[in-house]
Structure 1
Amino acid sequence: MIEFKLPSLGADMDEGTLLEWRIQPGDAVKRGQVIAVVDTAKAAVEVECWQEGEVFELLIEPGAKVPVGTPIASLLEAGESADTARRQLPRQPAAEPVAPVAPAPALGIPVAGAAPASRPRVSPAARKRAGELGLDPTALTGSGPHGVITLEDVEAASRAPAPTGRGPSERTAAMRQTIAAAMSRSKREIPHYYLSETIALGEAMAWLQTRNAQSTPQERLLPGVLLLKAVALALREYPQLNGFWREGGFQPAADIHLGMAIALRQGGLIAPALHAVADKPLEQLMGEVTDLVQRARNGSLRSSELSDASLTVTQLGDQGVDSVFGVIYPPQVALVGFGRIAERPWVEDGQLCVMPCVVASLAADHRVSDGHYGARFLGEVRRLLQQPKSL
């Protein structure tokens, strides 16, 4: 029998609330199949199973809040039947008196095994629409069966007058606490060093403008996609920045999965992963970026997208500032930042001109690499962006 445990969806996750099961006992489960939806401090996440088998038992009821690593379901392996599995189960000791369950804290966070008082279940359509409208669906009153929040509830809330004097939502407050805990751990445990490089983007922007002029609106690329691809290709040459610090040592990542920092409408950040970035053409990468941003803001990410990132990239975009120096997201060992692309005075072939430029920064873990290594990495990013066709 296989125990399926609640996975960690990032270093800042200690527990999650089971919102719904996508499987039932007797169902066949394949690798990569979504089997449950779990609510974290940052988002409702679709949890994938990376084992195959037949569902034997669901151990947790929707609404229960459980720690990471807790068994939540069991699967039958090939050749195993439900009858043989039951015979193999250890005999349970006589039940002992159960202490009364303490009431939920003032914030209304549900206790394990109890139906959540302030986080009712939300239908997928309602959660998606609430994300589009910038509403917190868990703050609404549900009219569906067993108090489920429906699409109609979200639409009605969007038409209601906005309350005055309302503080931050429970989810936003929890997210701020989660981010603060992760970043405090990072600064406490990781000896950061920082580097920056101003990169001329004349060649890249000219190539992008020509390409986009010959493309349909759906096929056009944003400059940020070039930056992501350049980082991924540079990591092939500088693998010490692509991996994790675990168990007292560096563990290189199996592939280049870039976490992309995304600002959420209700406040806070989340950094889901774009998988195998170095191997993908720019057009495919652009489509995946668009899809990932939309799903992150609608609260429909998958567990592998929150646990696989091997290096995080933060881009401030056109509305940002000149440069950003980020904090490494443990257990990763580096973070790359890009400020806004802006025209600056530049000397080209001995002549003063105006050039679109971006400031690239690197925050890296001194236990794994040093400033010389990091400088060469930023130099490789710069070199790749001078040859946009190579991307």
Structure 2
Amino acid sequence: MKEFLMPSLGADMEDGTLVEWRKKPGDPVTRGDIIAEVDTQKGLIEIEVFEDGYVDKLLVDPGEKVPVGTAMALIRTGDSETGQEKEQGLEFPVSEKEKVVLQPTEEHFDEKPLPQKFPGKRIKASPLARRIAEENKIDLSKITGTGENGAIIKDDVNKAIEQRTAPETEEKISETLPEKEPEKIADSGKSIRMAVAAAMSKSNREIPHYYLSKKIDMSKSLYWIKESNKERSVQERLLPAALLIKAVAKSLDEVPQLNAVWENALQIKNEINVGFVVSLRSGGIMVPSINNADLKSVSQIMDSLNDLIPRARAMKLRSSELNSSTITLTSLGEGGADTLLGVIYPPQVAVIGFGGIIEEAWAENGMLGIRPVINASLSGDHRATDGLTGNRFLTILNKNLQNPEDL
């Protein structure tokens, strides 16, 4: 039997509120399945399970605030499927037995009287479905439930919302938004800023930073991107950010001391998972991760960016996309500041920063010319590495960006 614990989604996270279970006792689960939705300072996050087996028992009810590391459910793995029930000769596993006795449902349902215009009539719906309906002014009495015994579940309410808004124009939708929507957006941005501030305060308080920077000629990299994009559609075109992520990941292969975390000692990670900073329109930032970035092509990294950035801004990321980064990359993009010095996100030991690409005078082999140049910076944890390691990394990064075809 394995315990499914409330995961940590960053150094700033202390707890989360369970919104909804996606699985019920007896359901089979495989690694990567979404088992629950949890509300955190970073928004509503889909939580994944990392064990293959069956859900044995749910230990937390929706609406409960759960500290990080608390057991939320019990997962019966393949090794424990044959228990006392099999020895007794029962024809079904424990999960089936529990279904008969406990009769779990997809959601917890309750019955409440409808408003006075429907006196005496009751309706069965999950608390989550009721909340979504109230926020979107949906009349539950007009919805046909598809849950157990005709109960209304979240998907039923979402379908009703889609049917209501489909014929409307974008202008009409914006006019009918709830009056407090801007306030909600502002509150969300404020909450995320507070979470980021807490993590950065901890970083400045506990981590002895050192900083290095290096100017890198981007002529060959930009030419390679331009030539590659000639054979691609607009939707498939590459951006410099994808090449920078790939170059960082490949450089970490040669300097693994920076692909690590500090937890009482340096722990070098096998996987290279590059987290990249995404600014949110409501304020604050999110840092989703491109896992195994060293094994992905530049095109695959670009596909990941196109997928993750919109979901990050919509706050629809999975837990594995938020808590798996082994190093962070932050870039201000075109037109940004010349130099960016990042703050390390604990427990990581380094952050790589890229300023905007600008044209500068560049001397090479006794010749002076104008080149597109980017300032690459490294903020390192002095407990884990020193300037010699950081300098080696920046040197290798420069070499990789001068040979983009090898990436």
Superposition TM-score tier, normalisation by shorter sequence: 0.7 to 0.9
- Structure 2 CA distance, aligned partners of 1:334 and 1:122? 41
Task: State the partner residue of 2:235.
Answer: 218
- State the secondary structure of the residue aligned to 1:327: coil
Question: Identity percentage over the alignment?
Answer: 43
The alpha carbon displacement at 1:143 in A equals 2.6
Q: How far apart in 1 are the matches of 2:67 and 2:131? A: 19
In 2, the alpha carbon distance for the partners of 1:28 and 1:376 equals 48
Structure 1 unpaired stretches of 5+: 87-114, 124-137
Match of 2:322, SS?
Answer: helix
Distance 2:182 2:275 in 1: 35
Task: Please list the CA deviations of residues 257-283 of structure 1 after superposition, one character each: whole Å capped at 9, or x if unmatched.
Answer: 001111112111111110111111111
**RMSD value, Cα:** 2.8
Bigger mean CA offset, 15-24 vs 237-246: 15-24
Structure 1 equivalent of residue 36 of structure 2: 36
How far apart are residue 366 of structure 1 and its match?
Answer: 0.4
Shift of 1:217: 2.0
**For 1:301, what is the secondary structure of its paired residue?**
coil
Give the secondary structure class of the aligned counterpart of 1:307: coil
Please show how residues 225-240 of structure 1 align to structure 2 within 5 Å: 225-240=242-257
Aligned equivalents of 2:130 and 2:351: distance in 1? 36
Q: CA deviation at 1:298?
A: 1.9
Per-residue deviation at 1:61? 2.1
Confirm or deny: 8 A CA contact 1:194 1:361 kept in the other structure.
Answer: yes
Count of paired positions: 345
- Which residue matches 1:59? 59
CA 1:200/1:159 → structure 2, altered by over 3 Å: closer, same or farther?
same
Q: Cα offset for 1:159? A: 2.2
Kindly provide the amino acid, as one letter, of the partner of residue 34 in structure 1. Answer: I
- Name the counterpart of 1:90: none
Counterpart of 2:301?
285
Question: What is the 5 A alignment of 1:205-354?
Answer: 205-246=222-263, 248-354=264-370
Segment of structure 1 superposing worse, 308-317 or 69-78: 69-78
How far off is 1:202 after superposition?
0.6
Contact 2:26–2:96 (Cα < 8 Å) also in 1 = no
Flag the 1:121–1:66 CA change in 2: closer, same or farther, 3 A. Answer: farther
**Residue 143 (structure 1) aligned with residue 138 (structure 2):** yes
Residue 59 of structure 1: how far off its partner (Å): 2.0
1:121 to 1:318, Cα distance in 2 relative to 1, 3 A: farther
For the residue of structure 2 that corresponds to 1:294, the secondary structure is: helix
Which amino acid in 1 is paired with 2:307? D
For 1:15 and 1:52, the matched residues in 2 are separated by 25
Q: Distance in 1 between matches of 2:137 and 2:390?
A: 52
SS at structure 2 position matched to 1:353 = strand
Contact in 2 for aligned 1:120/1:142 (Cα 8 Å): no
- Residue 23 of structure 2 corresponds to 23
Structure exhibiting the larger radius of gyration computed from Cα positions: 2
Structure 1 contact 19–121 (Cα < 8 Å) conserved: no
Q: Provide closer, same or farther for how the CA distance between residues 142 and 269 of structure 1 changes in structure 2, counting only shifts above 3 A.
A: farther
Unaligned runs of 5+ in 2: 84-92, 99-126, 141-151
Return the alpha-carbon distance in structure 2 between the equivalents of residues 185 and 40 of structure 1. 19
Give TM-score scaled by structure 1 length.
0.81
Shift of 1:319: 3.7
Tell me, yes or no, if structure 1 residue 10 matches structure 2 residue 10: yes
Aligned amino acid, residue 68 of structure 1: V
Preserved contact between residue 242 and residue 252 of structure 1 (Cα < 8 Å): yes
- Partner amino acid for 2:355? G
Instruction: Name the SS of the counterpart of 2:229 in structure 1.
Output: helix
**CA distance in 1 between partners of 2:334 and 2:96 (Å):** 61
- The equivalences for 1:104-253 within 5 A come to 122=132, 140-143=135-138, 145=140, 150=158, 151=161, 158-160=174-176, 169-246=186-263, 248-253=264-269
2: CA distance between counterparts of 1:120 and 1:176? 30
Distance 1:167 1:25 in 2: 35
Distance, in Å, in 1 between the alignment partners of 2:284 and 2:50 is: 29
Is the contact made by 1:311 and 1:333 (CA closer than 8 Å) also made in structure 2?
yes
Q: Is contact 2:188–2:282 with CA below 8 Å preserved after alignment?
A: no
2:260 and 2:71 map into 1 onto residues whose CA distance is 28
1:225–1:286 Cα contact (<8 Å) kept: yes
Q: Is the 8 A contact 1:121 1:147 kept in 2?
A: no
Amino acid aligned to 2:94: A
User: C-alpha displacement at 1:71, in angstroms?
Assistant: 1.7
Distance in 1, matches of 2:225 and 2:191, equals: 40
Amino acid at match of 1:15: D
The corresponding residue for 2:69 is 69
After superposition, the C-alpha distances for 1:101-131 in whole angstroms (9 at most, x for unaligned) are xxxxxxxxxxxxxx79xx98559xxxxxxxx
CA distance in 1: counterparts of 2:137 and 2:332, whole angstroms = 37
Letter of the structure 2 residue corresponding to residue 320 of structure 1 = G
> In terms of mean alpha carbon deviation, does 188-197 or 144-153 score higher?
144-153
C-alpha distance after superposition, 1:1-24 (max 9, x if no partner): 322111111111111111211111
Q: Give the Cα–Cα distance (whole angstroms) in 1 for the partners of residues 68 and 173 of structure 2.
A: 33
* Residues 175, 121 of structure 1: alpha-carbon distance in 2 compared, 3 angstrom cutoff: farther
Structure 1 residues 286 and 167 mapped into 2: Cα distance closer, same or farther (>3 Å)? closer
Q: How far does residue 26 in structure 1 lie from its aligned partner after superposition?
A: 1.3
TM-score (norm 2): 0.78
